[in-house]
Amino acid sequence: MLENFVLPDLYPAAPELFLITMAMVLIFVDLAFGKTRRWVVGLLTVASLFGAAVITVLTADGQTTLTFSNLFVDDLLADFLKILTYISVIMVIIYGRGYLAERGLDKGEYYLLVLFATIGMMVLISAASFVTLYLGLELLSLSLYALVAIDRDSSRSTEAAMKYFVLGSLASGLLLYGMSMLYGATGTLEINGVAQAVNQMQTPKTILVFGLVFTVAGIAFKLGLAPFHMWIPDVYHGAPTPVTLLIGSAPKFAAFALAMRLLVYGLLGLALEWQTMLLIMAIVSIGLGNLAAVAQTNLKRMLAYSAISHMGFMVLGLASGILTLPANPYVAISAYGAALYYMFAYVLMSMGAFGMILLLSRKDHEAENLEDFKGLNQRSPWFAAVMLILMFSMAGIPFFIGFFAKFSVLLTLIYAGHTVIAVVAVMFSLIGAFYYLRVVKLMYFDPPLDTAPLRSSLDMRILLSGTGVAVAWLGIFPDSVMLLSHEVMKSLIG
């Protein structure tokens, strides 16, 4: 057996191998410095992510490379999503450093779990087989379950972690059952092999459709689409805010890759079936998310329902390009590019919004209720303006990045012939604008309940200010990221 063993090409997986090595190093560094110089562990984590980003850039050649017996793929989509993942996680660490230090939660376990969650995202992004896809998904999920419960003295966090674990395990089981049915029907675990078998219809379609239903259910849970959204409000509310920030940002890129790899690459032959499911779930998500968010007084829960609505919009872009792919690849590229651009815009806006909650929070006070933002303009005109930009952008008001993200998705819907769905999405967005504008009203027209000056580290202030400026700048000049998203999809679809 050993003489037939062929060493796989490790070059495409160099960033993952580097982060795994640094995670092991982090354990020993935490043992040496964790109790006396906790900042060393956080700094090493950021340096590790930065190193992985450099390796990803240096090893990116724009070509599609398969390794580990066709289990792992390195292509332009994987490189692009990994770069965005590194940046997001670095921002999460910087945003949450002060919050965690005040509460004694900035331990080595936190940073180690963040690194393992990042590795899980990377494996999921580069998955070319059901095996690696499920491996990355579970590594990510298990790390997030533990992170939600990292504040062991908080009953709210423990409850949220239990709910997340139970519902997440159920969703993982649904996804695994769906993939096992697809494997039984096609006889292969490789996504490319599944695509070939589905296109040639070598197996009864009924089995494939049953497997597809369970697979879409698992994907919908990871994206937070209705009716598989029930975990999001409780987990967002119960988790420590830096963990909520992590859950609402970087894993969205991995979930996007999951949907692309499984549905667009592997099951395009069943596009008629899964497009209908996605369109229905997307509209229900947009409607339910916006209507439920109106009734919220807790900002974290409001942003949780907002996330459900935004993921619905992203899925509309994902579902609007498939029927046109054989006849008009340009429209398909535009649709997938719009979905990727929307995901980027949402993560940027979400990180800024949760960053504002962290900015206002203190050791003895969680600034997560709407009333905590009353009179913010009197306390800090600049950060009130940053929050205004973020809320306007999430509402889709011109000219911010959120407006162009929604506009690009709506255009692809109209090109694909789904004009009625586009109109319904716009109507629900108008309803959703209310709860975003309510935050602006509280900041500028209500007297402050707390007149204490805002206290935070310089790096957090700079990063949060930069996030607000980026949301505004990319709204005025949206072409750069939009064209890059389209180029990534063009390289894959051609």
> CA 195, 201, 204, 205: dihedral to nearest 10 degrees?
70
Write phi, then psi, for 96 (nearest 5 degrees): -90, -5
Long-range interactions of 157-162: CB distance < 8 A, separation 24+: 157/238, 157/239, 157/240, 159/234, 159/238, 160/234, 160/235, 160/237, 160/238, 160/239, 161/238, 161/239
Counting residues of the chain whose pLDDT is more than 90, the rounded percentage is 63
- Compute the distance between CA of residue 111 and CA of residue 101 in angstroms, rounded to an integer: 13
| More confident of the two residues 141 and 450 | 141
Q: Which 3 state secondary structure label does DSSP give 66?
A: strand
The two tokens of residue 336 are 């997938």
Q: In angstroms, what is the C-alpha Rg of the chain?
A: 22
> CA 441, 445, 451, 455: dihedral to nearest 10 degrees?
40
CB neighbours of residue 459 within 10 Å: 12
Whether the pLDDT of residue 385 is over 90: the answer is yes
The two tokens of residue 198 are 């589905």
Residue 169 is predicted with a pLDDT of 92
Q: Which of 31-40, 250-259, 283-292 is the least confident region? A: 31-40
Q: Which 3 state secondary structure label does DSSP give 72?
A: strand
For residues 35-60, give the mean pLDDT. Answer: 89
* Among 399, 436, 406, 403, residue whose Cα is nearest residue 422: 406
Residue 461 is predicted with a pLDDT of 92
Name the average pLDDT for the chain: 89
Q: Which 3 state secondary structure label does DSSP give 204?
A: coil
Residue 331 is predicted with a pLDDT of 77
For residues 364-370, give the mean pLDDT. Answer: 85
For residues 58-65, give the mean pLDDT. Answer: 86
Residue 2 is predicted with a pLDDT of 52
How far lies 323's CA from each of 6, 65, 276, in Å? Answer: 41, 27, 11
Each residue of 344-353: pLDDT tens digit?
Answer: 999 999 999 9
- Residue 74's H or E segment, with its range, is strand 72-74
Q: How confident is the model at residue 272 (pLDDT cuts 50, 70, 90)?
A: confident
Residue 201 is predicted with a pLDDT of 73
Does the global pTM surpass 0.85? yes
Is 315 within 8 Å of 239 (Cβ atoms)? no
Is 81 within 8 Å of 21 (Cβ atoms)? no
Each residue of 166-215: pLDDT tens digit?
Answer: 999 999 999 999 999 999 988 899 999 999 888 887 667 888 899 999 99
Each residue of 426-469: pLDDT tens digit?
Answer: 999 998 899 999 999 999 998 888 777 787 788 899 999 999 99
Each residue of 223-241: pLDDT tens digit?
Answer: 999 888 889 999 999 999 9
| More confident of the two residues 326 and 170 | 170
CB neighbours of residue 494 within 10 Å: 7
For residues 319-333, give the mean pLDDT. Answer: 68
Residue 12 is predicted with a pLDDT of 87
Is 299 within 8 Å of 369 (Cβ atoms)? yes
Is 491 within 8 Å of 62 (Cβ atoms)? yes
Q: How confident is the model at residue 61 (pLDDT cuts 50, 70, 90)?
A: confident
Residue 30 is predicted with a pLDDT of 86
Residue 325 is predicted with a pLDDT of 47
Query: Which residue type is seen at 250?
Result: A
What is the crossing angle of helices 108-125 and 14-33, to 10°? Answer: 170
- Compute the distance between CA of residue 411 and CA of residue 398 in angstroms, rounded to an integer: 16
Q: Which 3 state secondary structure label does DSSP give 190?
A: strand
Each residue of 281-325: pLDDT tens digit?
Answer: 999 999 999 999 999 999 999 999 999 999 999 999 888 876 544
Counting residues of the chain whose pLDDT is more than 70, the rounded percentage is 96
* Among 475, 472, 477, 337, residue whose Cα is nearest residue 409: 337
- Compute the distance between CA of residue 232 and CA of residue 226 in angstroms, rounded to an integer: 10
The two tokens of residue 355 are 């960053």
Residue 324 is predicted with a pLDDT of 46
Is 321 within 8 Å of 333 (Cβ atoms)? yes
With DSSP H G I counted as helix, E B as strand and the rest as coil, what are the percentages for the chain, rounded to 5? 80, 5, 20
The residue assigned the tokens 């504002």 is: 356
How far lies 328's CA from each of 63, 292, 493, in Å? Answer: 23, 38, 11
- β-pairing verdict for 72-74 and 65-67: antiparallel
Residue 226 is predicted with a pLDDT of 87
For residues 323-338, give the mean pLDDT. Answer: 72
